[in-house]
Structure 1
Amino acid sequence: MERLLPSDPSVIGGYRLAGRLGAGGMGVVYLARSPHGTWCALKAIRSEYADDPAFRARFRRETQLATGLTAHWTVPVIAADADARSPWLATAYVPGPSLAEAVARHGPWPAAHLLRLGAALADALDGIHACGLIHRDVKPANILLAVDGPRLIDFGIARAVGVTVLTTDGSVIGSPGYLSPEQARGRTVGPETDVFSLGCVLAHTATGRPVFGAGPAAGVLYRTVHEQPDLDGVPDALADTVRRCLSKDPRRRPTVAQLRQEFGEFDEDGWLPRGLPALVAARAARVLELPVPQHTVVDGPPANGTSDAVTATGTPGAVAPTSRRRVLTAGGAVLGVVAAGAGGWWRWGRPDRSAAHGTGTLPRRVIGLLGDRSDPSFTAHERGARLAVSEHQNDPRRPFDLVLRTADDRGTAAGATAAAVALAAGPGVDLVIGAGTNATVPAAVEACTRARITLLVTRADTNELDGVNLTSALLLRPTRTAGPPAILRYLNRVVKPGRSAVVHDLSDADDTLQTVRIITVHKKLDGAATVEEVAADEDFTAAAARITARRDDAVVFAGVHPERAASCARALRDAGYRGTRVADEHVVGTSFLDVAEGWLVGTGYTDATADPRTRKFAAAHRARYHAAPAPWAAEAYDAVRFAVHGLTAAGDDARATVRAELLRHPWQGITRKVSYDPDSEFFQAVEDSGAFLYQVTYHAARFVSRADDIGSSAT
């Protein structure tokens, strides 16, 4: 939870606001006290929607329907005002974690508990549909766990049955990974779409992973519409039911009434798996810690469009002093309609170090660095990380001392597993930074997930990491599934090709197929695209001749082997091709650089000496190590600083809560900005930050620009 902004109102509709639970596309969600003193979640709609009379009419109709909702396993709308300057609705407050958090922290659920969960959710949907509503956003983050059973929340995008989407045709409303194929296509939906989403939820709860994979929304939506769900690991007692719920054809899905019969009656006794009752009880007990609502200062129109701000005296627009108490968020409870486990609890004031540590000694936090010590990039990582540690230790205001501990994975998956286990078992290790490769990091992710320790991945980009945000790990760079951001941005904003050729090297087809899909299926490259497939035992001569004869504007090499990329570059050169040629960082090697003059390369690392935003870091690196920083040094520096950001907010129980704190707010480093999207449950670099463009000049790759600067006057 965040403190109220100065521009936020103090009161909306008689509900006194205590803090911000979140903000989304529709509006801002507040924690509020009702006139009767009960806690609730209040959503204020954004002014751009409020200015649309048709929206107000729909909002009025649907909140009236939702107010009449009495289904046992839902969170009712207790008040709403469609005629306020900014329409709002308030729902009951549920002091419990979300199902998303529960699965992330405690793992998949056994079959017996899944059946009880399914029984309650089917009952909830039956009540929702009986009121003439469809939910449209059934997902683990919108299911709260209470002692007596689950609660389905967030009717913010629910629509009256039979009403099409409110925006233009082809738009998508819902959360990728849990919405139905008809939602993904932007078509009219009915109760069947909630059944599909329920199947996704049950499969996720049974396996701990999303049924249509993770990663960028475009890929998830494509798999939802065109590919079969991944049901490996769903218990036999549930597999057939879930499979029928996930039918692409809405007419073939079971009805909610049929699901209620298959799941049976909900049994409250022991409905939560082992470990979760204690978590639920702890969250409920924290209700007593919630603060008395404070007043805000309104200077000009409020950010959310409301004008009915009042102070404790009830005087509209009066100025009241803001609280000086400092707010720190912790935990992961979801309150009322807040999405994706982004809620939390307030901790007031700064810890008293002298009271907690009688000697005056600061507490200690330990960060592990895991990678292959024989790899030069590990040396770069370690140097960047140690600079960040030194910077922290030299800050007199630091809340704790910081220690860096390294571990050697020896460049193998088995070594990564052993080293990760050793780090996690080491005294006081709170977080691990994975500096390994695509061959080793997936094993480290698995080991750290079992050990319940947060892993920050800096370098690896294999497709195997697409679902990493559903483990205990966070990926600080895009995977190949997202496509090469710097390359695509350069082509679209600078080259603007009418026709491009994608040279797909089939010697590593599994690793590069997603890049081809990004360009051809998801159309992230403007203009037409032709795919030239080259088998592993072929050279690139014929493909280069066809590309040159067509006079394609650009060539994208989809491959990862430097020798194969060099062969492609040589063939294009010999064929006389003069258009733009691009590839990604994996092709950078002596064999490629020797023949690829003029090629552009997209990377996940910057050149700290040439990048204007990292030159201060480069100077500090040179002063300490008497050498310019190598690739990945600045990224490791950022990883440590990001870790410190989370550890500072996590407090005493750092290891258990640091991941939740890292997801709490966007964070800006010297190389990238990272953010968590609660709707898609996806953590990623923001707007192509963390991606960089190089050009091969005189047998070396030389820095050109950050991806997010491409197309600007500075490029």
Structure 2
Amino acid sequence: MERLLPSDPSVIGGYRLAGRLGAGGMGVVYLARSPHGTWCALKAIRSEYADDPAFRARFRRETQLATGLRAHWTVPVVAADAKARTPWLATAYVPGPSLAEAIALHGPWPAAQLLRLAAALAEALDGIHTCGLIHRDVKPANILLAVDGPRLIDFGIARAVGATALTADGSVIGSPGYLSPEQARGRAVGPETDVFSLGCVLAHAATGRPVFGVGPAAGVLYRTVHENPGLEDVPDALAETVRRCLSKDPRNRPPVAELREEFGRFDEHGWLPSGLPALVAARAARVLELPVPQNTVVDDGPPGAGTPDAATRAEVPGTVTPTSRRRVLAAGGAVGGVVAAGAGGWWRWGRPDHTAARGTGPLPRRVIGLLGDRSDPAFTAHERGARLAVGEHQNNPRRPFDLVLRTADDRGTAAGAAAAAAALAADPVMDLVIGAGTNTTVPAAVAACTRARVTLLVTRADTNELDGVNLTSALLLRPTRTVGPPAVLRYLNRVVRPGRSAVVRDLSDADETLQTIRIITVHKKLDGDAVVEEVAPDADFTAAARRIAARGDDAVVFAGVRPGRAASCARALRAAGYRGTRVADEHVIGTPFLDAAEGWFVGTGYTDATADPRTRKFAAAHRARYRSAPAPWAAEAYDAVRFAVHGLTAAGDNARTTVRAELLRHSWQGITRRVSYDPDSEFFQANDDAGSFLYEVTDHAARFVSGADDIPRPEA
């Protein structure tokens, strides 16, 4: 549970908000106190859905159905309003952790407890389907654990949104890794889709990992549709049933009634694995310790004055008539009076208060670590950009805290990174670490920070090993190679528009280049046809270059990470007389390549702060302080610190433990990119190819062309 943000409302539909329980693609879920004094989980729907009349109509129908649902192991809907400016829905509150959190903290479940979990979830789905509902989003995060059994939440909402989102463009609704192949393809679904999701949940609980892997949604969806699930560690008692649930063909999945018979009746005794009863009890105790909001009685004047028309509310049995705006304002003033009088009410607990920090006493202090190789020029650039951001923060008279930057040397090795990250994280005042290292060092730093539960912001590394960020404490500030080289792909699609491209894959780096091949050949992120030319590590590029030139391919994409090999490819293409467009990614930039690759285009994760119009003020400040132009990664490090400050400000007093959740919550615009995350996978969203830049090799140097989002669309 987290504090309310200053932007959060105080009251929704007569329910007083006390804190945030979570946020996702649909909206924000609050802990709220009903007008009758009971605790509820209230979900406020995001504006993009609220503005859709069709969604509101479906939302109203689904909440009516959900309110009538009395299936065991589900959470009843107690009130909803589909016609409010912000549609909302309130359910009974279950003060326990989610299955996702339990697995992350305590690992896989033993077979005996898995069977009990399966029995309860099958019974819940049977009740939902009997009422004419399809859940569509069965996943560990939507399963709450209570002392007496699990609770499946979020039914009804998923179907309402799905009916809106799965209409015209085949968009996918649900959570990648748990949705069915038919959902992934944007096709019609039935109860069988919930059976598939149940199989994914049980496999995850059995093994401790998602059954179709982790990473960006596109890769997970592809594996869901085309590849076999990883069921190696599922206990024998469940393995065959789970395998049948995960059949690609819905007709081959067992019906829920059959699953109930196989799993048997739920047994409450010992249903939670070791360690979890204490966690469940602790969560329940936190809610019991919250102060109860005092009821406030306000005279609204003549009967009917200022009260909303009853027709504006969803016709849901048990819906509570909302408090009028006048009553809410008066009640808010009364609560404020109670707090001012020193009663120490829930209102103060619910919201962060930075006013004390601006008083006469010393400001609290927040500490950020910067981790990288001191001998690497990129680390020097990071440090300079970071210190500019710290200085800017310290010069703000309204800052809520003082900011301190500490650096650590990883010596350019994985072992050094693990040790340095562990040393930073062991400092009890360390609130967050910025990883400025490479693909070699950062994965080791991620592991160390995850063990210490310290958030790590990754600025530079783009290895595929970082795709599973939702299983770590890390957050990426750039796309990884799994989404391909975004800037050059956008340049090819929008400017070159090739009919056929050649992808030269250097097998010296087969593992590193596989994702680029998949992005182009499987996921079709490059328009037109593509021919893959694979070159063995001990071979040169002459034969491949001659074939490319003879075919007259419109463009060449070099898939490799070694500057020397990229230079050899460039020379071979030139010798073969090839004059088409040639592109590569940032890892090939080095003297050998720059000397041989005149006219090539390169995509990077860093901008040129002296040439990019959005970073010129930063470049001027850098020159004023350091007497030199900012090097690559300086502006990105400046953004990383400012992004960290954004999260630390929202996190309040418990910054170390809550800053990652705050950073995930809202998108943020920096000088180099817009930072936002997928609400389910927590993966960096490269919307408009955020954080990707295009350079051209001219006169033995890489010259800035533009940000990927500035590459124009072709004229119609």
Q: TM-score range by the shorter chain?
A: 0.7 to 0.9
Matched, 1:99 2:102: no
Indicate how the Cα distance of structure 1 residues 378 and 550 shifts in structure 2: closer, same or farther if over 3 A, else same.
same
Kindly tell me the number of residue pairs found equivalent between the two proteins: 677
Which residue of the partner structure matches residue 412 of structure 2? Answer: 411
Indicate how the Cα distance of structure 1 residues 375 and 230 shifts in structure 2: closer, same or farther if over 3 A, else same.
farther
- CA apart distance, 1:242: 3.5
Name the SS of the counterpart of 1:519 in structure 2: helix
Matched, 1:547 2:548: yes
**Cα deviations by residue, 1:241-290 (Å, 9 ceiling, x for unpaired):** 43443232334444434444554524255626526235522553365477
Further displaced range: 395-404 or 474-483: 395-404
- CA apart distance, 1:609: 1.5
Which residue of the partner structure matches residue 340 of structure 1? Answer: none
* 1:452-467 superposed matches below 5 A: 452-467=453-468
Give yes or no for contact 1:208–1:470 (8 Å, CA) kept in 2. no
- CA apart distance, 1:348: 4.5
> Which amino acid in 2 is paired with 1:219?
G
- CA apart distance, 1:531: 1.8
Indicate how the Cα distance of structure 1 residues 89 and 429 shifts in structure 2: closer, same or farther if over 3 A, else same.
closer
Indicate how the Cα distance of structure 1 residues 223 and 50 shifts in structure 2: closer, same or farther if over 3 A, else same.
same
Give yes or no for contact 2:73–2:120 (8 Å, CA) kept in 1. yes
Which residue of the partner structure matches residue 71 of structure 1? Answer: 71
- CA apart distance, 1:313: 4.3
- CA apart distance, 1:469: 2.8
CA distance in 2, matches of 1:117, 1:163: 29
Which residue of 271, 279, 284 maps to 1:281? 284
* 1:291-690 superposed matches below 5 A: 312-313=323-324, 346-350=350-354, 352-353=356-357, 360-690=361-691
* 1:231-242 superposed matches below 5 A: 231=231, 234=234, 238-242=238-242
> Which amino acid in 2 is paired with 1:587?
V
> Which amino acid in 2 is paired with 1:609?
T
CA distance in 1, matches of 2:414, 2:517: 28
* 1:91-240 superposed matches below 5 A: 91-104=91-104, 107-159=107-159, 167-168=167-168, 170-231=170-231, 234=234, 238-240=238-240
Which residue of the partner structure matches residue 333 of structure 1? Answer: none
Indicate how the Cα distance of structure 1 residues 68 and 325 shifts in structure 2: closer, same or farther if over 3 A, else same.
closer
Indicate how the Cα distance of structure 1 residues 11 and 163 shifts in structure 2: closer, same or farther if over 3 A, else same.
closer
Matched, 1:245 2:248: no
Matched, 1:704 2:709: no
> Which amino acid in 1 is paired with 2:663?
L
> Which amino acid in 1 is paired with 2:662?
E
> Which amino acid in 2 is paired with 1:705?
S
Indicate how the Cα distance of structure 1 residues 649 and 197 shifts in structure 2: closer, same or farther if over 3 A, else same.
same
Indicate how the Cα distance of structure 1 residues 531 and 168 shifts in structure 2: closer, same or farther if over 3 A, else same.
same
Name the SS of the counterpart of 2:675 in structure 1: strand
Give yes or no for contact 1:10–1:294 (8 Å, CA) kept in 2. no
Give yes or no for contact 2:476–2:683 (8 Å, CA) kept in 1. no
Give yes or no for contact 1:17–1:33 (8 Å, CA) kept in 2. yes
Name the SS of the counterpart of 1:411 in structure 2: coil
CA distance in 2, matches of 1:44, 1:129: 24
**Cα deviations by residue, 1:484-540 (Å, 9 ceiling, x for unpaired):** 111111112222222222222222121111111111111111222222222222222
TM-score, L = length of structure 2: 0.84
Name the SS of the counterpart of 2:653 in structure 1: coil
CA distance in 2, matches of 1:600, 1:256: 55
> Which amino acid in 2 is paired with 1:389?
V
> Which amino acid in 2 is paired with 1:592?
F
CA distance in 1, matches of 2:433, 2:200: 31
CA distance in 2, matches of 1:363, 1:67: 47
> Which amino acid in 2 is paired with 1:522?
H
**Cα deviations by residue, 1:612-649 (Å, 9 ceiling, x for unpaired):** 21222222222222222211122122222222222222
- CA apart distance, 1:461: 0.7
Indicate how the Cα distance of structure 1 residues 182 and 543 shifts in structure 2: closer, same or farther if over 3 A, else same.
same
> Which amino acid in 2 is paired with 1:127?
G
> Which amino acid in 2 is paired with 1:285?
L
Query: For the aligned residues, what is the CA RMSD?
Result: 4.0
Give yes or no for contact 1:602–1:691 (8 Å, CA) kept in 2. yes
CA distance in 2, matches of 1:687, 1:67: 40
Which residue of the partner structure matches residue 318 of structure 2? Answer: none
**Cα deviations by residue, 1:372-417 (Å, 9 ceiling, x for unpaired):** 2222212222222222222223333333332222222222222222
TM-score, L = length of structure 1: 0.84
CA distance in 1, matches of 2:663, 2:508: 38
CA distance in 2, matches of 1:323, 1:457: 44
Indicate how the Cα distance of structure 1 residues 354 and 688 shifts in structure 2: closer, same or farther if over 3 A, else same.
closer
Which residue of the partner structure matches residue 299 of structure 1? Answer: none
Name the SS of the counterpart of 1:402 in structure 2: strand
CA distance in 1, matches of 2:428, 2:32: 42
- CA apart distance, 1:130: 2.4
> Which amino acid in 1 is paired with 2:284?
A
Indicate how the Cα distance of structure 1 residues 371 and 325 shifts in structure 2: closer, same or farther if over 3 A, else same.
farther
CA distance in 2, matches of 1:32, 1:292: 14
Name the SS of the counterpart of 1:594 in structure 2: helix
CA distance in 2, matches of 1:367, 1:410: 19
Name the SS of the counterpart of 2:611 in structure 1: coil
Which residue of the partner structure matches residue 298 of structure 1? Answer: none
CA distance in 2, matches of 1:324, 1:701: 63
CA distance in 1, matches of 2:586, 2:85: 52
Give yes or no for contact 1:3–1:18 (8 Å, CA) kept in 2. no
Indicate how the Cα distance of structure 1 residues 388 and 25 shifts in structure 2: closer, same or farther if over 3 A, else same.
closer
Give yes or no for contact 1:672–1:685 (8 Å, CA) kept in 2. no
> Which amino acid in 1 is paired with 2:129?
H
- CA apart distance, 1:184: 1.3
Further displaced range: 698-707 or 501-510: 501-510
Name the SS of the counterpart of 1:529 in structure 2: strand
CA distance in 1, matches of 2:19, 2:425: 36
Indicate how the Cα distance of structure 1 residues 102 and 630 shifts in structure 2: closer, same or farther if over 3 A, else same.
farther
* 1:44-83 superposed matches below 5 A: 46=49, 49-51=52-54, 56=57, 62-79=62-79
CA distance in 2, matches of 1:661, 1:542: 53
Give yes or no for contact 1:4–1:19 (8 Å, CA) kept in 2. no
CA distance in 2, matches of 1:93, 1:126: 22
Further displaced range: 579-588 or 420-429: 420-429
Further displaced range: 249-258 or 17-26: 17-26
| Structure 2: runs of 5 or more not aligned | 299-311, 315-320, 337-348
> Which amino acid in 2 is paired with 1:474?
L
| Structure 1: runs of 5 or more not aligned | 296-305, 327-344
CA distance in 2, matches of 1:431, 1:294: 45
Indicate how the Cα distance of structure 1 residues 294 and 439 shifts in structure 2: closer, same or farther if over 3 A, else same.
farther
Which protein has the bigger helix share? Answer: 2
